[in-house]
Structure 1
Amino acid sequence: MTECFSNDQYNRQLQNKINTLKTLFSDFVLPELKVYSSPVSHYRMRAEFRIWHNGEDLYHIMYDKKTKKRVRIDSFPIATKLINQAMQAVLPLLQYNESLRHLLFQIDYFSTLSGQLLITLLYHKKLDENWIAQARLLKQQLADQGINVNLVGRSSNQKISIDVDYVDEVLPVLDKTFQYRQVENSFTQPNAAVNIKMLEWAISVTKGSSGDLLEFYCGNGNFSVALAQNFRKVLATEIAKASVYSAQHNIAVNQIDNLVIARLSAEEFTCAIKKEREFNRLKGIDLDSYQCQTVLVDPPRGGLDQGTINNLKNYATIIYISCNPYTLKENLQQLTVTHEIKHLAMFDQFPYTDHIEMGVVLKKK
């Protein structure tokens, strides 16, 4: 186990990713690839485990992707130390608590660098008042062990929060500190140490920018909150309600006065900016008052739709954050007709996997 998470093992897998990218993008004229590595262990802020019931015994499992066989997990070195501490404490407390144990099939752990922890218990049963009472008892029992946690219970069409359903992260980024509310079951960057490097990179490549910033897929405002300092105004869009609410909180708590969030998809915003359709969700936002010369996109693995690609070509600067280099390559084949690549970065969000996160800055020719 120690060898699996050694510096040598990590450096080998990181070099393999670098080689993969250089081969994949060999058809493009590229600047120097900047590589941002991860901590070797305890870097993942979230972890999800199935729960295996074996008589009176109870333990975490994961399924091997290749063999599909279940693997017992007693410790999880890629997850934060706080998650590992909670894993050791939770199961003994659940083991002999019939209300909390019965039909429990999964536990999700969600931690922060700021020391906050949220645990979600997932069930194949309806949760009742007795479950709530026992969940409150569990929270107190964990607190007695020095683990302060908020709990959420989930079952089909049911969600119960014991106090709150979020954690508040605090990230030191260059000379500033940013606070981010991160809601249970909503997207957040999984590797906080690498996320800090992503934000620092994005701030550095947009220093001295003129005009305003438009961001698609802004999530909880991870990039837009940090980048607002480099622009006159920022307009960000996100379709998921929970993420929009988090983003609005994050704007307020960080005292950002030049950033507005609109609950729109990238496709809907494209229609709005072309005045093809009006949206009530844009009420109070004067699109004509924005002089967006820079656009940032952080799309899902499927990449950008054709309408958004066509829209991006109108901007002087494109910042593309990608979680899939293969769809990124497809999109760049179109974007490099009008733009050239000025900055290229790799962020190792997921060590010991084939997953690669990238950042690209393109400038209009």
Structure 2
Amino acid sequence: MSAVLDPSSYTQQLDEKVARLRALLAPFDAPEPAVFDSPREHYRLRAEFRLWREDGQRHYAMFAPGEKHVPILIDSFPIASQRINELMPRLKAAWQADAALSNKLFQVEFLTTLDGDAMVTLCYHRPLDEHWQRAAEQLASDLSVSIIGRSKGKRVVIGRDYAVEALEVAGRTFRYRQPEGAFTQPNGTVNQKMLNWAYEALGPRDDDLLELYCGNGNFTLPLATQVRKVLATEISKTSVAAALHNLDDNGVDNVTLVRLSAEELTEALNEVRPFRRLQGIDLKAYDFGSVFVDPPRAGMDVDTCELTRRFDNILYISCNPETLAANIEQLHDTHRVAKCALFDQFPYTHHMESGVLLVRR
């Protein structure tokens, strides 16, 4: 069966999200949000499926929330990219034809890009041997993908352990390495719209930018071209490695990246304690005019939110409008909402991505 979605209801669902965001930001006299819609189908660039054994064969399966024992068997997944839908039956045919691929295979993960790259992760409840290696190498060649094999305590890479994305911002194409297992924006089309909005909202500046939660440099690359220099932070080693590669690969040389959490950087800027990872970096040499934040769903903690108050401009991308509103409430006495936007990263769900530009009163 196919995933349940109704493109004819999309406009109504999006209108409901706009109304919800408008109501959350109304106490702060926010302007009308700019609205960036999503493709109605084939918008999700990554997907993860458990496998369910039935009639002697393994099938792609998903489960309703809270229900672990009644699978929904699927053959296609219309919300996923066309590349994922093209790969699904071919991969299934391959494991059905080869016990080396199917034996104790329990999960499949796809990562694709707008640029056409694809990576498939196969997860097993058994060690991976030379029979699997040979079969997987042939499969990677047949499907023109990279394959990652995972079993307890072991990871086998055939091809690359990352996919490569290309996104256009303000007429320039940026290329991104997206590592296996690291966070990437799921809706590439909307991500590209989000990057362009953030780029324009920040505007060209002659001072410096602080970026918290920079990930693989998704926003860092285009925003760095708008400012004198950037100090960016990220705690994940995998994301830091990808971000450093992406900066180098795109010739962006005005960014210093440090592996610190937002909370740790707050302590450093407040001179609470020194950090070895900041050795050789003179924080006082920066003339920060703006801060960019893209925090997890919990939003910014109280201390980090207070840190952002120091900056004239706070550019904030949020995957949780409720915590966004709570953070704005904390900052509202010193900053006003100058711009806001809704990015429909997750059609047919209640989730939404939003953005605001807060400027000092």
Q: Residues 3 and 76 of structure 2 are in contact (CA less than 8 Å); yes or no, is this contact kept in structure 1?
A: no
Q: CA deviation at 1:349?
A: 0.3
Q: Residues 145 and 159 of structure 2 are in contact (CA less than 8 Å); yes or no, is this contact kept in structure 1?
A: no
Q: CA deviation at 1:179?
A: 0.4
Q: CA deviation at 1:132?
A: 1.7
Partner of 1:172: 168
Q: Residues 241 and 263 of structure 1 are in contact (CA less than 8 Å); yes or no, is this contact kept in structure 2?
A: yes
Aligned length: 359
Partner of 1:17: 17
**What amino acid does structure 2 have at the position aligned with 1:75?**
S
Partner of 1:31: 31
1:231 to 216, 227, 234: 227
Distance in 2 (alpha carbons) for counterparts of 1:73 and 1:238: 37
**What amino acid does structure 2 have at the position aligned with 1:107?**
V
In the alignment, structure 1 residue 291 sits paired with structure 2 residue 287? yes
1:263 to 259, 280, 287: 259
Q: Residues 56 and 95 of structure 1 are in contact (CA less than 8 Å); yes or no, is this contact kept in structure 2?
A: no
Could you tell me the percent identity over the aligned residues?
A: 45
2:153 to 157, 173, 187: 157
Q: CA deviation at 1:88?
A: 1.3
Secondary structure at 2:354's aligned position in 1?
Answer: strand
State TM-score, norm by structure 2: 0.96
Alpha-carbon displacement from aligned partner over 1:308-353 (angstroms, at most 9, x marks no partner): 0111111110011100011111111101121111011000000011
Partner of 2:177: 181
**What amino acid does structure 1 have at the position aligned with 2:311?**
Y
Q: Residues 3 and 74 of structure 2 are in contact (CA less than 8 Å); yes or no, is this contact kept in structure 1?
A: no
Q: CA deviation at 1:223?
A: 0.5
Q: CA deviation at 1:287?
A: 1.4
State TM-score, norm by structure 1: 0.95
Q: Mapping of 1:238-277 within 5 angstroms?
A: 238-277=234-273
Distance in 1 (alpha carbons) for counterparts of 2:141 and 2:175: 26
Distance in 2 (alpha carbons) for counterparts of 1:332 and 1:228: 25
Q: Structure 1 residue runs of 4+, over 4 Å off? A: none
Q: CA deviation at 1:34?
A: 0.6
Q: CA deviation at 1:210?
A: 3.5
> For structure 1, which runs of at least 5 residues remain unmatched after alignment?
143-147
Secondary structure at 2:292's aligned position in 1?
Answer: strand
Partner of 1:145: none
Secondary structure at 2:41's aligned position in 1?
Answer: coil
Q: Residues 214 and 235 of structure 1 are in contact (CA less than 8 Å); yes or no, is this contact kept in structure 2?
A: yes
> For structure 2, which runs of at least 5 residues remain unmatched after alignment?
none
Q: Mapping of 1:57-206 within 5 angstroms?
A: 57-65=57-65, 69-142=70-143, 148-206=144-202
Distance in 2 (alpha carbons) for counterparts of 1:138 and 1:235: 42
Alpha-carbon displacement from aligned partner over 1:21-65 (angstroms, at most 9, x marks no partner): 222333221112111000111111100011111243221010012
Distance in 1 (alpha carbons) for counterparts of 2:136 and 2:102: 11
**What amino acid does structure 2 have at the position aligned with 1:19?**
A
**What amino acid does structure 2 have at the position aligned with 1:165?**
D
Alpha-carbon RMSD: 1.5
1:337 to 318, 333, 339: 333
Secondary structure at 1:125's aligned position in 2?
Answer: coil
Secondary structure at 1:284's aligned position in 2?
Answer: coil
Secondary structure at 1:209's aligned position in 2?
Answer: coil
Distance in 1 (alpha carbons) for counterparts of 2:83 and 2:102: 22
Q: CA deviation at 1:208?
A: 3.0
**What amino acid does structure 1 have at the position aligned with 2:20?**
T
Distance in 1 (alpha carbons) for counterparts of 2:316 and 2:303: 16
Moved more, 168-177 or 186-195: 168-177
In the alignment, structure 1 residue 220 sits paired with structure 2 residue 216? yes
Q: Mapping of 1:34-49 within 5 angstroms?
A: 34-49=34-49
Alpha-carbon displacement from aligned partner over 1:200-222 (angstroms, at most 9, x marks no partner): 00111111333100000000001
Secondary structure at 1:355's aligned position in 2?
Answer: coil
Q: CA deviation at 1:17?
A: 0.8
